[in-house]
Structure 1
Amino acid sequence: MNRIVPLIFTLFFFLSCKKNEKIQREYSIKNTNFNFQRKFAEEIGTIEDQNKGIQVRKPYKMTLGESYFPDIKKYEFEQPFVFWRDTANLKNTISYFFTKKDSVVRVIEYAWSKPKDNDSIISKIYKNNIKLISKKLNQKGKIINESKDSWKQQIISWENDSIYVWSYIFSNKLPQRTRVIIRQKK
């Protein structure tokens, strides 16, 4: 009996400490397979099968803004195809925006949002994406910093003969989300 009381006390102590412990998942950054080449809507299924993407259906109409696609008024877009991929052990959402007339994928958006249990993973993904894109396009990007009272954003942009690429990181005290936008020029 004398040995049981200290054992119960020790067990109770460890269990009570566990409640206050912040549990963080282990996140590993995987390189995202970005599509820089011109694609058509019928190719998207094959691309996502190769990347283990899972198609999701949005119950609302998704549209592009002029900041993503300045020539938006020249085209009529279909509802985009949206997929989830598991990168860095969190969902990466990929949206393929294509035109109704010719099914050309004009814009691809890759997006990650901060999980509740990790404050640094978004910055790591952002930096990794910048390295990947700079290496693939063989150029450094141009940096633009924006800030308002409660948020800040950094945008890095690249351009070549066929595409524009932007990588964003948005912070509200801590980094909240990062995105990569690839837009075809023609």
Structure 2
Amino acid sequence: MKKKLVVIDLDHTLIGVDSFRFYINKKIKNGSFYALILKWLRRFRFIRLEDFKKYTIRLILEEDPELNNLTGNLTSFLNEPLLNKLKSEFVGDEFELLILSASPDNYVRILGERLQINAKGSHFENDTKTFMHIHGKGKIDYLLHHFPKDTYNYEYAISDSITDEKLLSLFKKSELIEPFKIKDAK
């Protein structure tokens, strides 16, 4: 029997912040020169968002001993009603919950472990060293490759982002929701 797959977007869906922006701002506040330079390069459009994430992973995240603290901070921004709904509606061995996020896998995966949900974010492939930006079409490509339709029933997906519209259309049931935001997130 095929497993029923449930896909959840992270930023402004499962948590009330843009986790990547939150991370970069924390690093700048703590004196990271790389984070400041990369944010400046992105702000003035010298680099694309995908490259911003790629350089951040290589220059900062891979060696960051504070990732567990970051994920602890991110759990304080959880959309608890949504999480409770998902964990009560899609319970049992026939379901597999998966957080898919454009944010870096370095902390998305740790957050998923804390929530006891499989999670994947943007990352470098181990074998090819190719950067996989899990955003828009990249999210769909990742999903179809790692969770093929001949093995999974695409049961339910939820996101706040219009860039996930095609992803949502792959599922039996889906929701494009208003962004969940916590105003005091700094």
**Does the TM-score normalized on the shorter chain lie above 0.5?**
no
Structure number with the bigger relative contact order (C-alpha 8 A, sep ≥ 6) is: 2
**Largest Rg, 1 or 2:** 1
Q: Which has the higher strand share?
A: 1
Tell me the TM-score normalised to structure 2 length.
0.28
Q: Which has the higher helix share?
A: 2
Tell me the TM-score normalised to structure 1 length.
0.28
